[in-house]
Amino acid sequence: MPRRNNPLLAQIEARAEAKYRALFDVRMTMLLQMGQDAAMIAANDVLHLGPKRAAAFCAAYIEAVNDMARLIDTDLHDDREYSYAKAKIDARLREIVGPDNFASWEVRYGRE
């Protein structure tokens, strides 16, 4: 029986997809928040940020995450591998940590 001709199956699939997307959104939001929390804790432990500098760091962290997401999203329109975005992010990180401490996108994201 073809799936496309079965309205009941289509309804079940649609509900399952909606449930999956909602769960994915909750988990993604939680993961992003955990990353921000961990960054704040690490920045405080290493840099001894006070409330003012911690707030500035938090704002910069959120801006960096959003900038990276926008860069990848824009690049995805032309390149499924988003090579340009990965190269730009890698270049920025290489500047920050230096060549001896740098790990490529593929290493950081487990693709090598």
Rounded to whole angstroms, the Cα distance separating 17 from 10 reads: 10
Domain ranges of the chain: 1-48, 49-112
Residue 85 CB burial class (10 angstroms; 0-12, 13-18, ≥19): buried
Q: What is the pLDDT of residue 5?
A: 80
C-alpha 33: how far from chain center: 11
Q: What is the pLDDT of residue 111?
A: 73
**Which residues, 6+ apart, have CB-to-CB distance to 53 below 8 Å?**
47
pLDDT per residue as tens, the chain (112 positions): 445 688 888 889 999 999 988 988 899 999 999 999 999 999 999 999 999 999 999 999 999 999 999 999 999 999 999 999 999 999 999 999 999 999 999 999 987 5
Residue 82 in contact with residue 76, Cβ under 8 Å? Answer: yes
Q: What is the pLDDT of residue 2?
A: 47
Residue 111 CB burial class (10 angstroms; 0-12, 13-18, ≥19): exposed
